[in-house]
A and B are shown apart, each in its own frame.
Chain A
Amino acid sequence: DVKVTQSSRYLVKRTGEKVFLECVQDMDHENMFWYRQDPGLGLRLIYFSYDVKMKEKGDIPEGYSVSREKKERFSLILESASTNQTSMYLCASSLRTGFSYEQYFGPGTRLTVT
């Protein structure tokens, strides 16, 4: 079974803090993704990575950055957290073989910025 884990289920941070959200997958997937989920908006793609050190912006990258130094790990960084970044953050991974494979999701991190 694919396993995607996220470092925290719940996180509370103050405005202006630097925040790291970690995601690890154990299935040797090439692709990894970060989404945020907000009521009424569904899931929106922040960043994705298709290989180590490779990254591409998603639909809402502003205020975020990412890091992928190892294949199994994909980090989302909030350089200076703001209250409008309070949200549920979901990490996902998938194969990359030219076909559109399903993504496997982690349990999510609910981030509150006060």
Chain B
Amino acid sequence: AQKVTQAQTEISVVEKEDVTLDCVYETRDTTYYLFWYKQPPSGELVFLIRRNSFDEQNEISGRYSWNFQKSTSSFNFTITASQVVDSAVYFCALSKYGGATNKLIFGTGTLLAVQP
């Protein structure tokens, strides 16, 4: 069965600190996609990144970076020099490759609070 675990329920940091959000997944598929979404207090989930299982290169986008390691089934998300605007719930999700539909399996989310 496919499963996504985000063990950190809540994280609180002070502005400018670096923070890493953990994501561990389980799947028997050899081909799959992983996603990160951000849900700010307004409620709408915002897509951040998609990574396929063949691409283990780390990704950096501004202050955001993602570390994908198949050996440990992890897809961790790091925010460098955090800002108050980063306060949100962050979800990691797993999807099955191909097919007519792309169902996502979400983790339970990590609430990040960045204090000024």
Contacts and interface: CB of A to CB of B under 8 A. Distances in A.
Interface of A: 9, 31, 33, 40-45, 48, 50, 56, 58, 88, 90, 92, 94, 96, 98-108, 110
Contacts of B33: 100
Counting from the closest, the 6 A-B pairs by CB-CB distance are: A105-B45, A42-B108, A100-B33, A100-B102, A108-B43, A43-B106
A35 to B, nearest CB: 8
Interface of B: 9, 32-33, 35, 37, 42-47, 50, 52, 91, 95-104, 106-109
Contact of A42 (B46, B52, B91): B91
A43 B33 CA distance: 17
Nearest to B46: A105
A42 B91 CA distance: 8
B47 to A, nearest CB: 5
Interface centre among B33, B37, B45, B106, by most chain A C-beta atoms within 10 angstroms, is: B45
Given A43-B91, A100-B50, 16 more contacts: A33-B103, A40-B108, A42-B108, A50-B100, A50-B101, A56-B101, A92-B45, A94-B102, A98-B98, A98-B100, A99-B102, A100-B33, A100-B95, A106-B44, A107-B44, A108-B44
A110 B104 CA distance: 21
B47 A103 contact: yes
B91 A96 contact: no
A88 B43 contact: yes
Nearest to A40: B108
A108 to B, nearest CB: 4
B108 A45 contact: no
A48 B102 CA distance: 10
Contacts of A92: 45
Nearest to B108: A42
A33 B44 CA distance: 14
Contacts of B52: 100
Contacts of B101: 31, 48, 50, 56, 96
Contacts of A48: 101, 103
Interface centre among A101, A103, A107, by most chain B C-beta atoms within 10 angstroms, is: A103
